[in-house]
Structure 1
Amino acid sequence: MVKTLPKILYHGVKIFLRSLKKSISEEIELSNQAARMRYDQNKSHAISETAEQMTLNEAKLVLHVDRCSPEEMEERFLHLFEVNKKENGGSFYLQSKVVRAKERIELEMRNGLVNVTNG
Structure 2
Amino acid sequence: MGEKRDQAMQLLQKMLAPEISAQLAKGPSGPKFAGDLGEMSMNNIFEPLWTNETLDPRTRSLVTVAILIALRATEELEIHFPAAIRNGATLDELEQVIYQASGYAGFPAAHSARQVAIAALERAGMLG
Report the TM-score, using the length of structure 2 for normalisation.
0.27
Q: Flag the structure with more relative contact order, 1 or 2, with Cα contacts below 8 A and sequence separation at least 6.
A: 1
Q: Higher Cα Rg: structure 1 or 2?
A: 1
TM-score after normalising by structure 1 = 0.28
Structure with a larger share of its residues in helix: 1
